[in-house]
Every structure is written in structure tokens, then in C-alpha cells.
Amino acid sequence: MKHFALILILLTVPAWADDDDQDRARRALEAGEILPLADILEVAQAARSGRVIELDLERDDGRWIYDLELITPGGYLYEMEIDGATGTILEIEREDD
């Protein structure tokens, strides 16, 4: 249910993504180029429990990359890069104060 709420927020809050970004992501999903956002969020939660506070989908060197910022219950901020097509975590980095 939390994932559904986040998806609704991502689709309705213009500050997170403009219409072009949403259309581009929708086309990539429909073409089978990326996994659904719910799958990506499950991967992120399995790696680090917490709340996603920022999310971007970018094309980098020919592949789709989800960039996430996540804050853990303990207050640590993590940045993650997840391959949009496979769900493989490419990088996890804890941000230091």
C-alpha cells in the first residue's frame, strides 16, 4: 500500500517530474525497457529499509537508471542507483553529515 501511495504522489506532484519525464517513463515501461516502479521500490527496501524521499529515472550510457534517495528509520540518508531494466543495484552510498 505504501508503494501505491508513492506512485500516486509521483504521478501527481509536478515538482518531482514534469509531463515529459512522466511520458518518457511511461513509454519505457510500455516498451518493456524498464521494470515497474513498484518492483524497483521493493529492491530498494530489501537493500535498505526506509522511506524514499527522492526519485529520478535517467538514461545513462544507453540504459535506464533509477536514482533514489532513501532515509532510514535511524536517520541515515542513502543514495542508490538501480538498473531500470534488471532491478540490479548498481551503487549504494551512505551520505555523511
At residue 48, the pLDDT reads 95
* CATH code for residues 2-95: 3.10.450.40
User: For 24-36, what is the mean pLDDT?
Assistant: 93
Question: Tens digit of pLDDT for each residue in 77-86?
Answer: 999 999 999 9
Percent of the chain, pLDDT > 70? Answer: 79
Domain boundaries, the chain: 2-95
> How far is the CA of 48 from the CAs of 20, 33, 44, in angstroms?
30, 25, 6
pLDDT tier at 9, thresholds 50, 70, 90: very low
Q: For residue 60, which amino acid is it?
A: D
Which of these, 41, 53, 40, 49, lies nearest to 72 by C-alpha position? 49
Distance CA 89, CA 76 (A): 18
Is pTM beyond 0.75? Reply is yes
Q: What pLDDT, in 10s, does the model give residues 45-74?
A: 999 999 999 999 999 999 999 999 999 999
